[in-house]
Amino acid sequence: MLAADSSDARLSPLLRHFDNVCVHVAYKGSMNRQAYAWFSDVDVHGTKLAERKRPEPPLFSRHTEFLHSVDELKRVKPWWKPQDVNRTVGIWNIRTSASDLKTAPRPDQVIWLRNTTWFVDVSHGGTPNLWTNICHWSNSMFPVFEAIAKGELCRLPLQQLMMWQVPEANWNKAQQGYHAGVLNALLTEYEQRGRGMASRPRFFFDGHVTAGSTFCMEEAIVVKEPNLQHRKIYLQIRFAFRTAILRQLKVSPPGPRTPTVTYLSRPFGAKDAKLHGRAWQLRCHIRPPTFRKLAQAVFRQAGYRMVRAVFEKTTYAYQAKIISESDVFWASHGAGMVHLPLLPKDAVTVEMFNCGHFSYLYAQLALHVGVRYFVMQRTEPWCYKPQSLYGDTRKNMSKTYAYTFEEAEPVLFQAIRYHMWQDPVEDLSGREPMCDFARKHLAGTGTLPTNVLPNRWSKECAPLVAGPVAADGGSGRADDATASTESALAGSASVANIAGEWMTNFGQSYRGRKRLVDPPEGDGTPGQWTRWAGLG
């Protein structure tokens, strides 16, 4: 491990840090792999180093085990048959290969890497997995972002990324996707924090990390597990990640909008298949007639709009735009739930499960990133009892089940009510003129109050504003909103006149009835209105 006096920089406890360490790639498969690591007895300059002990536990990464020395590599008995490596579990376009380990790495076969190398070993729950799964990729990315944000990533400039199991051709085809979007946001954040990186790191892909090759690294970092889903992430880190992603993807800030429920669905039927490719096997879902009925009920009772999103064959920028403007995010259990860190402040998520399926992965993630979590499960009593307390509960995960209106409505409205009752800014009293209240609410939450639709805002309130109001999904401040309001109204009619004029106009169009102006101060009488949205 790095010596305590080797650098003044703090190093993140989320990562494993090593200096002058070597890794020999022994076996490469699609979902199974193995390598061996040991500390080098010389550094990158050839200077002799003191002997160091093997770390405990002897892990470099989840799939790379430490040996006491390079000599032990000759005594490792491989568990595979080199002649059968392409018959192992794999994907059709990924070839497996193996090193027979009979010849220890010679100096002329070793590739020395200067400065810091980030060894990207995609894992999920301790087992090897494909890098293409976004939840697996996130396990390796989010802890690194937190280390970058805290200035604890590494002591030497980040110069190499060793992307084990990532084919270069596949990576180049996916530059608009989730994986490149997240990684590029991390590298941009690292550059902006002035960590001494003159240019983007060099990438070593699957074709470079061949079985039998040996790399020695001046400094190496590897993500530890437990990872994102099993630890607390402070809100400032979460919102910093959100900001970095939206900035990297050039996602424009949202305009004035009503609170939104986003239902994330897989492709459903022939129409979706034409737009998004083949219709994947549906897990828990709601049918189109149920969606339309729920959307009508949500708008009629709460003033929220409800939209359906399908992310297959879409860019990460599109996905980030949808998620960053979702106040209630509703989806079945699956990798789409990994988008939770992009939700705005005070957001809510609803996760659907089939009977007997239990997974606490995204419940933990929601807890740790500050998103209120609701679970939607079937109502039969036996569906609430796990079939096993020790074994796998994923038996029914991919079975198809369509929730009915009667099953989905209660949980969905619980989530909406929770979001509706969040106080967006401290100085909201509900006694302000409607446009002032809407402006403060918009600055605090990124959404308009439920009784102010965007067309009403643009017609009645936007003309009073000297310039556009920033709505960044939760980063607005109450004092900024107040200052912008006062500036917009300066030199025009007084607040009282504007309020009176609005009340006159609104009373004439409010279903043909006059609405009484609320008193300036409440007297404690039950049922008094304390919000323009009608919340008591």
Which amino acid does the sequence have at 360?
Answer: Y
Q: What percent of the chain has pLDDT over 70?
A: 74
Q: What are phi and psi of 34, to 5 degrees?
A: -155, 140
Question: Shortest CA distance to 160 belongs to which of 23, 52, 37, 317?
Answer: 23
| Angstrom distance (rounded) from CA 108 to CA 130 | 32
| Angstrom distance (rounded) from CA 165 to CA 167 | 6
pLDDT band at 227 (very low <50, low <70, confident <90, very high): low
* Cα–Cα distance list, 193 to 41, 151, 189 (Å): 34, 8, 6
| Range with lowest mean pLDDT among 351-355, 380-384, 411-415, 464-468 | 464-468
| Range with lowest mean pLDDT among 39-53, 255-269, 515-529 | 515-529
pLDDT band at 326 (very low <50, low <70, confident <90, very high): very high
SS (H, E, C) 253-317: CCCCCCCEEEEECCCCHHHHHHHHCCCCCCCEECCHHHHHHHHHHHHHHHCCEEEEECCCCCCHH
Residue with the bigger pLDDT between 245 and 524: it is 245
* Cα–Cα distance list, 147 to 16, 143, 245, 434, 498 (Å): 12, 6, 16, 44, 50
pLDDT at 128: 59
> Residue 362: in which H helix or E strand, if any?
helix 361-369
Question: Per-domain residue ranges for the chain?
Answer: 15-230, 242-420, 423-536
| Range with lowest mean pLDDT among 37-41, 143-147, 426-430, 462-466 | 462-466
Q: For residue 88, how far is the Cα from the chain centroid? A: 33
pLDDT at 398: 78
| Angstrom distance (rounded) from CA 427 to CA 482 | 9
pLDDT at 124: 62
| Range with lowest mean pLDDT among 38-42, 84-88, 135-139, 261-265 | 84-88
> Reduced to 3 states, what is the DSSP secondary structure of residue 100?
coil
Residue with the bigger pLDDT between 100 and 179: it is 179
pLDDT at 389: 81
| Range with lowest mean pLDDT among 318-332, 376-390, 489-503 | 489-503
pLDDT exceeds 50 at position 223: yes
Residues 6+ apart with CB under 8 A from 227: 14, 139, 140, 142, 143
pLDDT band at 1 (very low <50, low <70, confident <90, very high): very low
pTM for this predicted structure: 0.80
Mean pLDDT of the chain: 79
**pLDDT tens digit sequence for 69-85:** 998 988 888 766 655 55
Which amino acid does the sequence have at 475?
Answer: S
Most confident of the ranges 1-15, 98-112, 160-174: 160-174
pLDDT at 283: 83
Question: Shortest CA distance to 167 belongs to which of 120, 221, 131?
Answer: 131
> Reduced to 3 states, what is the DSSP secondary structure of residue 253?
coil
pLDDT at 451: 81
Calculate mean pLDDT across residues 454-476: 63
Residue with the bigger pLDDT between 117 and 384: it is 117
Question: Shortest CA distance to 105 belongs to which of 20, 204, 36, 45?
Answer: 36
Cα angle 238-243-246, degrees, rounded to a multiple of 5: 125
Calculate mean pLDDT across residues 230-251: 84
pLDDT exceeds 50 at position 531: no
pLDDT at 136: 82
Class of domain 242-420: alpha beta
Calculate mean pLDDT across residues 408-429: 87
Residue with the bigger pLDDT between 122 and 93: it is 122
pLDDT band at 467 (very low <50, low <70, confident <90, very high): very low
